[in-house]
Amino acid sequence: MRTSTGQATVDEEIVISVEKVTKRYGKQTILSNISFNVKRGEIFGILGPDGSGKSTLMHILSGILSIDRGRVSVLGIDVIRYTEKIKRDIAIMPQGLGISLCDELSVEENIDFYSDIYDVPKHKREENKNNLLKITRLMPYRNRLTRKLSGGMRQKLALCCTLIHLPKIIILDEPSTGVDPLSRRDIWIIINNIVAKMKVTCLVSTSYMEEAERFHRIMMLYRGNLLGIGKPVEFMEKIGSPSMSHVFLSLSMAFEREKKTISVRDIFKRFHGVLERRANREDEIVVDIKELVKDFGDFRAVDHVTFSIKRGEIFGFLGPNGAGKTTIIKILCGLLKPSKGSGKIAGLDITKNKEEIKRHIGYMSQRFSLYKNLTVRENIELFGGVYGVYKKVLKERMRLVLELSELKGKENHLTGDLPISMKQRLALGCALIHNPEIIFLDEPTSGVDPIGRARFWQIIYELSKDIGTTLIVTTHYMDEVQQCDRVMLINEGIVCALDTPLNLRIQMKKEVGKAFEIPTKDPFSIYEDARKMNLNVSFYGKNILIYSKHPEVELKTLENLYRLRGQAFHDVRERDAPFEDVFIHFIEKRAQYAKGSKENLHSIS
């Protein structure tokens, strides 16, 4: 939209302009001919896996890095030539859970420290600090030491420190990475609140494809190449998929077409018999846990948890940080002794047969179960030796692992030099080298690109359905949760829900009603007003999502709110609930039950 004089309105004013930017490190091209614009007041997303160039681009925009070719303008100023001129108007929050914070300072002392760095006047400092503490809901914790904060709270404090001098543009480098879905939702509410009330422009990078719908517009990077720019819904309509992971996978495959790869299924067929196939007898239980309790002093980390897992099942394990997932897994692996309760793993008692259990399980850590200074071959041989695999058997299984990892011919390469997706598949290969009945996978695809993630899940599927291996997976990727046979949601050590992903979505629909999506120019203000009217709403980018059991009444109420704010109410469409909302629904439902009931519901079967 333009004024009568032909000038762009504030909403359409370009505040960031990138033209044909290329960045190299030595012979390696990190960014190749990248061009895009960002408008004032936008929440603009930069999507891509680790190594796609997201952080490099953000450091260029903030004046930290130079470029080899192109032009970068921020607020009309050439960033490369006149970096000092834009420093007060731009702020960057680096990747990592509060990595820029001082752990030995309190919440308030950290904010004051950044106020000194940015030379914020004392009369403005207190006003800005109090506003930010209210927005982030950190006011009650202002005197708490930073090292005692959860990951989500650390990110909120980092946002306060980034915004204390009221910059015009904020750059957030993967602010939700490593943060559970509950904390992710809070961070997104805060970001929208800040953009609406402080009138800033926000650039956010993420490797979570399901977060794409949170942005007004997105750009997608893959190996330094620009895949596309636009609104998330436009990409989904063009590709014909409701999943941004599928959209990204489809677009990035153009860079993989010359690469000849053997399908995972064909690899398992070629190595038939190398891994012993287990008969998937219907309803055979391989993990059976009853009334499990784990106390650490006065703190109860696991509270009367009961569940069972069948042979060959892909079992998702989902919960916020600190929910008790890791504690339960350590008990199942024989690394911790339960305070109460009983359980069997592959028919073995978890308290009496801990050493024997270890021979029946495999474990893949989130931070790689590999030694980076060993070669690929040495890592495989090490794990084979630890588990006592015979040399002849190990030789055949090594060939299988190399094929699955696409590392055939790279046996002597150092593991630390491998791409992340190959490392993850190699780590899985080392976890299955002794053909365990059960494999624990702790956030196995964190930071892996969609192509690598898709291949990793093909391996999981074949192990489950063809070999009969039981796989227990923890993940923060909501699209991966939906690939599990069943999912257990846990919070504060208590099971909140346990069922198939489809059944959980159906159950939520019965309890809160259908989901409808409506576009809006002012999502956060509509969201705030609708919540005050007791409407069950959330927002994704520039869309309001309402859940209603009585849509004929509540959609009319929402329409009146739109009209009151001078907005058109159009393009209403019914849609499936995002699985992040499903997760949050059951976590909050359980919390409300615990608050309002004297009884303690320990498990849901």
pLDDT of residue 88 exceeding 50: yes
pLDDT of residue 155: 87
Q: What is the mean pLDDT of residues 483-497?
A: 94
The pLDDT > 90 percentage for the chain reads 56
Q: In terms of DSSP H, where are the helices of 292-419?
A: 325-332, 354-358, 376-386, 391-404
Contact 337, 351 (CB under 8 A): yes
Supply φ then ψ for residue 300, to 5 degrees.
-95, 110
Strands (E) located in 164-297: 169-173, 201-206, 217-222, 225-230, 285-296
Contact 31, 56 (CB under 8 A): yes
The CATH architecture one would assign to domain 13-255 is 3-Layer(aba) Sandwich (3.40)
Higher-confidence residue of 98 and 532: namely 532
Q: What is the mean pLDDT of residues 313-329?
A: 88
Q: What is the mean pLDDT of residues 311-332?
A: 89
Highest mean pLDDT among 263-267, 452-456, 501-505: 501-505
pLDDT of residue 594: 67
List Cα–Cα distances, 408 to 264, 379, 393, 411, in angstroms. 14, 14, 18, 7
pLDDT of residue 3 exceeding 60: no
Confidence of residue 316 (pLDDT cuts 50, 70, 90): very high
Confidence of residue 8 (pLDDT cuts 50, 70, 90): very low
For residue 22, count CB atoms less than 10 angstroms from its CB and return exposed for 0-12, middle for 13-18, buried for 19 or more.
Answer: middle
Listed in order, the ranges of the chain carrying CATH 3.40.50.300 are: 13-255, 264-496
Listed in order, the ranges of the chain carrying CATH 3.30.70 are: 503-596
pLDDT of residue 94 exceeding 90: no
pLDDT of residue 5 exceeding 90: no
pLDDT of residue 595: 64
> Which pTM was predicted?
0.82
Confidence of residue 173 (pLDDT cuts 50, 70, 90): confident
Give 367-377 pLDDT, tens digit per residue.
Answer: 667 888 999 99
Between 151-163 and 122-135, two packed helices, what is the crossing angle to 10 degrees? 150
pLDDT of residue 603: 40
Supply φ then ψ for residue 344, to 5 degrees.
-130, 140
Fold that domain 264-496 belongs to in CATH: Rossmann fold (3.40.50)
Largest CA distance in the chain: 82
Confidence of residue 9 (pLDDT cuts 50, 70, 90): very low
Supply φ then ψ for residue 44, to 5 degrees.
-105, 125
Q: What is the mean pLDDT of residues 233-248?
A: 85
The pLDDT > 70 percentage for the chain reads 93
For residue 276, count CB atoms less than 10 angstroms from its CB and return exposed for 0-12, middle for 13-18, buried for 19 or more.
Answer: exposed
Give 138-158 pLDDT, tens digit per residue.
Answer: 999 999 999 888 777 888 899
d(CA 561, CA 531) in angstroms, rounded, equals 11
The residue length of the chain stands at 605
pLDDT of residue 249: 83
Select from 476, 570, 561, 582 the least CA-distant residue to 518: 570
pLDDT of residue 107 exceeding 70: yes
Contact 391, 367 (CB under 8 A): no
Residue 475 forms beta bridges with which residues? none
The first and second tokens of residue 457, run together, are 């899940």
Supply φ then ψ for residue 332, to 5 degrees.
-65, -30
d(CA 176, CA 198) in angstroms, rounded, equals 21
* CATH ID of 503-596, from 2.40.50, 1.10.3470, 3.30.70, 3.30.1360: 3.30.70
Residue type, 575: R
Q: What is the mean pLDDT of residues 512-533?
A: 93
The first and second tokens of residue 487, run together, are 């999912």
Residue type, 336: L
In degrees, to the nearest 5, what angle opens at C-alpha 365 toward C-alphas 364 and 368?
95
Cβ neighbours around 14 below 10 Å, total: 13
Q: What is the mean pLDDT of residues 264-287?
A: 83
d(CA 89, CA 78) in angstroms, rounded, equals 13
Q: What is the mean pLDDT of residues 553-571?
A: 94
pLDDT of residue 598: 42
